Amino acid sequence: MIAVLSPAKSLDFSPAPAGVPCTVPERLADSEELIRALRKLSPKKIAALMDLSENLAALNHERYHAWTPDFAAAQREGRAKQALLAFDGDVYQGFSLGEYSKADFTFAQHHLRILSGLHGVLRPLDLIQPYRLEMGRPLKTARGKDLYAFWGSTITDALNQALDEDGSGLLLNLASAEYFASVQPASLRGRVLTCVFKDEKAGAYKIISFCAKRARGLMADFIIRERLKKSGDLKDFNAAGYRFDPRSSTDSTYVFLRPEPRA
C-alpha cells in the first residue's frame, strides 16, 4: 500500500543521524516556480497570506530568499534534511525514528508519501529546506488562484506512479482534508482507504485534532515497522489505546476508537 501524510509546520533541522540516505525532490522546477512567486511578496503580504505574526512572516521571507535548488550545497551547510526527519509536528511525534534501521527507512521510501504545498509530493528521504507553504493558502500564480490549481493533476500523477510501482492498488489516506483535497481520487489507479481516529469525551466519540494527528503518525509508523501491505492488517493497530471499530467502519473508511480513561 501507499500511505499519504500531511507535512508539518514545525521543523527540526538539527543534524540528521549518520548513515540515513537521502534523495532529491522530483519536481524541483515546480518548486522553483513557487519560490519565485513567494520572493515577490513582502513580509507584510506573507503575514496576510498565511495568517502569520510579524516575526514568523519575516522568518519565512528569509527562508524563501535562502532557498536553493542546489540541495547538495544546502545539505553541506546544514540547511537541507530528509523530510521524514525534518518535519516535527504532531503527526511526526508518532514515529519511532530513533529506532529505525536502514531497512525501515527503505520501506518508508517505497510506501509513504508526504503531500506538500511547495513540493507536491515528497518521499520520506527527499531533502527539504526550511519553508512554510500550506496547501490551502490562496497563492496566485500563472497557473491559477491557489495551490490546488498550481498542482492540478501533478500530485495524482505522482501517486499513480507510486501505486504502479507498489502494485497493491491501495492508497491509504492519513492526510488532513486540506492536503488530501489536492488529490483527484477519480483519477487514481487504485482505491482509497481513509483512517479516522476518534476519542471518547463525555460518553461520545469525536475527532480531536491533536490526538488524530498523532494517531496518523502512529499508524504510519506501525505500517513501516510491521511491513504491512494489506488493508486488513491495519485492523490490528492498537497503539496509544486505539482499537479498530468494525461497527462504524466501511470498506472505504476504517474507524479507530479510544475510550476515555476511567477514574
- 37-78: pLDDT as tens digits: 999 999 999 999 999 999 999 999 999 999 999 999 999 999
In this structure, what C-alpha cell is assigned to residue 245?
A: 471499530
Q: From residue 235, give the alpha-carbon distance in Å to each of 17, 88, 135, 223, 257.
A: 32, 27, 30, 11, 12
Q: Where are the domains of the chain?
A: 2-258
For 131, the 3-state DSSP assignment is coil
pLDDT tens for residues 175-216? 999 999 999 999 999 999 999 999 999 889 999 999 999 999
Grid cell 495551490 is found at: 147
Residue that wins the pLDDT comparison between 17 and 118: 118
Give the single-character DSSP code of 262: P
Q: How many CB atoms lie within 10 A of CB 16?
A: 19
